[in-house]
């Protein structure tokens, strides 16, 4: 059982460990041991690559979710002065001011600003008809 340096170097160059390379180099049939190593190492490398890709995808999803949560935590966009003067209304408003809610009632859109106003209760502002106030 001589030590076969060529097979040892081949295993090391493929990325195998020193122990695996020594086992192949010291085998009684190093050619057969090297072929067996190539098959096993290829399968092991494919498994490690698949695991790495799965972990990478999971990490990317977690990062995207963190970014999304940070955007949600920042809240709705704020209108700058130039846009406020041009009757700009952001798509997502955090809350309606008192004057805007009173203006909605005076415009006759109370049933849209008050979800309970659509009900058929006797004290309902719309009378349960769903029409103008």
- pLDDT average, residue stretch 25-32: 92
Q: What was the pLDDT predicted at 78? A: 73
User: What predicted TM-score, i.e. pTM, was given to this entire model?
Assistant: 0.41
Q: What was the pLDDT predicted at 62? A: 96
Asked whether residue 61 carries a pLDDT value surpassing 70, the answer given is: yes
Asked whether residue 94 carries a pLDDT value surpassing 90, the answer given is: no
Rounded distance, CA 127 to CA 97, Å?
A: 26
| CA atoms within 13 Å, Cβ hemisphere of 90 | 12
């Amino acid at each position: 059982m001589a030590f076969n340096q060529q097979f040892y170097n081949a295993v090391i160059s493929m990325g195998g460990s020193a122990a695996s390379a020594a086992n192949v180099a010291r085998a009684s049939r190093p050619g057969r041991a090297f072929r067996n190593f190539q098959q096993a190492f290829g399968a092991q490398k494919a498994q490690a690559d698949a695991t790495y890709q799965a972990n990478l995808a999971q990490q990317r999803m977690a990062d995207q979710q963190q970014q999304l949560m940070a955007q949600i935590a920042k809240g709705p966009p704020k209108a700058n002065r130039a846009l406020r003067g041009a009757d700009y209304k952001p798509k997502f408003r955090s809350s309606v001011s008192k004057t805007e809610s009173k203006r909605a009632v005076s415009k006759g859109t109370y049933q849209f600003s008050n979800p309970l106003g659509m009900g058929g209760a006797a004290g309902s502002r719309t009378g349960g008809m769903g029409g103008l106030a």
